Structure 1
Amino acid sequence: MGQDPTSSIIQLIVQLYAFMIVLRFLLQVAKADYYNPISQAVVKLTAVPLAPLQKAIPRIANIDITPLILAFIIHAAGWLLILTLQGHGVGTNLPTIAIISGVTVLSSILDIYFWAVLGSVIISWVAPGSYHPGPQLITQLTEPVFNLARKVVPSLGGLDLSPILIFIIIQILNSQLKSLTAMAL
């Protein structure tokens, strides 16, 4: 975005809140424990802006997609605010803002899974079967992805290689998203 402090602050606030909203979506898709204290905090922090969208937009295959739509809107609004504060014309930049906002939401999903898988691997070494809400939530978030990867790459003598496959897929998808962003600019 920009190098001035105002743009950096706006960018930080937008990214943090959009991160919470995307995390809410991923926790819902992974069917993570709703009563986990961390899940409850995420739900409470995102409930107010999501309520009108949830009333207006129906669920698709029993999945609430309104968090993704709200994250897209928040990113687009952040870009529009920064461009307006910098004195740039907004009208001609709308398609570019839409593409970059969509790519940013998808990139956030990949980033969350990258760090969650890394955290899950570390937790499996340090504190397997922990009863702390953090590790439990990370495990619940990553287990569906691990199960998909284990269907492709079976374990070798007790060594689970599924995180490696997930990391490779995340890196490939991230590189494609970066090239899409570069084309939009």
Structure 2
Amino acid sequence: MLANALDFLIRNLAEFFILVLLIRFYLQAGRVSFKHPVGQFVLALTNWIVLPVRRVVPPWRNLDTASLLLAWVCAFLMHLILLAITPWPFIFGSPLSIVALVLAAALELFKMSLYLLFAATIGQALMSWIAPYNPMMPVLEGITGPFLRPLRRMIPTVGGIDITPLILILIIQLLLGVVVASLEPYILQNVRIAT
């Protein structure tokens, strides 16, 4: 019972922090202003750790590599701790276990990025109908734009309606439901157990 509560707490806190770091990464990559309340919230939650790490890990082009690295480290530690609190005697020092944890952390970033893109796409689609001039629109467009623009070049509007958000949502669901759902348990099964 206690292990389940700890698992829930650790997973949710870690995933929240990973998500905030990824939002920071994608907002900077999309050149979205951090003057928006969402940007200010993200900076307030992450500056304490991103700014010191940025001195060691500088940005590459327009990408905030410090935020991305910290999100990966957080995902790595989350998986390490979650496996450590299980009753199974995992061998974390084996090369295969380390590789499995490295890949699990990378897959976690991919999964959380898909969740973020999914939420931003739905939010943008709804706001484009309800409140197209909402101050949140530039933030959402900064996240979804790099994915919707190529789709818009390939898929024409249908009856004057842009269906690319629907196509993007279907692609995200396919990736989450097939790729991530099958890879995640496979990767974690490769963490070695003492025999």
Q: Does 1:61 align with 2:65?
A: no
Question: How many pairs align?
Answer: 182
Q: How does 1:33-112 map to 2 (within 5 A)?
A: 33-86=33-86, 88-89=89-90, 90-92=92-94, 93-112=97-116
Inter-partner Cα distance in structure 2 for 1:126 and 1:173: 29
User: Which range is displaced more, 157-166 or 110-119?
Assistant: 157-166
Report if the CA contact (8 A) 1:99-1:181 is conserved.
no
| Secondary structure in 1 matching 2:159 | coil
> Which one-letter code corresponds to 1:177 in the other structure?
V
| 5+ long unaligned stretches in structure 2 | 190-195
Report if the CA contact (8 A) 1:22-1:68 is conserved.
yes
Equivalent in the alignment of 2:146: 144
Report if the CA contact (8 A) 1:50-1:70 is conserved.
yes
Q: How does 1:24-35 map to 2 (within 5 A)?
A: 24-35=24-35
Partner residue of 1:127 out of 128, 131, 143: 131
**Cα RMSD for the two superposed structures:** 2.0
| Secondary structure in 2 matching 1:91 | coil
Q: Does 1:165 align with 2:171?
A: no
| Secondary structure in 1 matching 2:64 | coil
User: Which range is displaced more, 152-161 or 20-29?
Assistant: 152-161
> Which one-letter code corresponds to 2:55 in the other structure?
K
Inter-partner Cα distance in structure 2 for 1:8 and 1:138: 29
Report if the CA contact (8 A) 1:120-1:135 is conserved.
yes
Report if the CA contact (8 A) 2:3-2:85 is conserved.
no
Report if the CA contact (8 A) 2:127-2:137 is conserved.
yes
> Which one-letter code corresponds to 1:140 in the other structure?
G
| Secondary structure in 1 matching 2:114 | helix
Report if the CA contact (8 A) 2:18-2:75 is conserved.
yes
Report if the CA contact (8 A) 2:3-2:86 is conserved.
no
1:63-112 superposed Cα distances (whole Å, 9 cap, x missing partner): 12221211110111122223333463322432222111110101111110
User: Which range is displaced more, 117-126 or 77-86?
Assistant: 77-86
Inter-partner Cα distance in structure 2 for 1:14 and 1:182: 19
> Which one-letter code corresponds to 2:148 in the other structure?
F
| 5+ long unaligned stretches in structure 1 | none
Q: TM-score, normalised by structure 2?
A: 0.83
1:8-56 superposed Cα distances (whole Å, 9 cap, x missing partner): 1111111111110011111111111221111011012111111232112
- Quick one: structure 1 residues 18 and 177, their matched pair in 2 at CA, closer, same or farther if it must change by over 3 Å? same
Q: Percent identity?
A: 23
| Secondary structure in 1 matching 2:170 | helix
Equivalent in the alignment of 2:184: 181
| Secondary structure in 2 matching 1:76 | helix
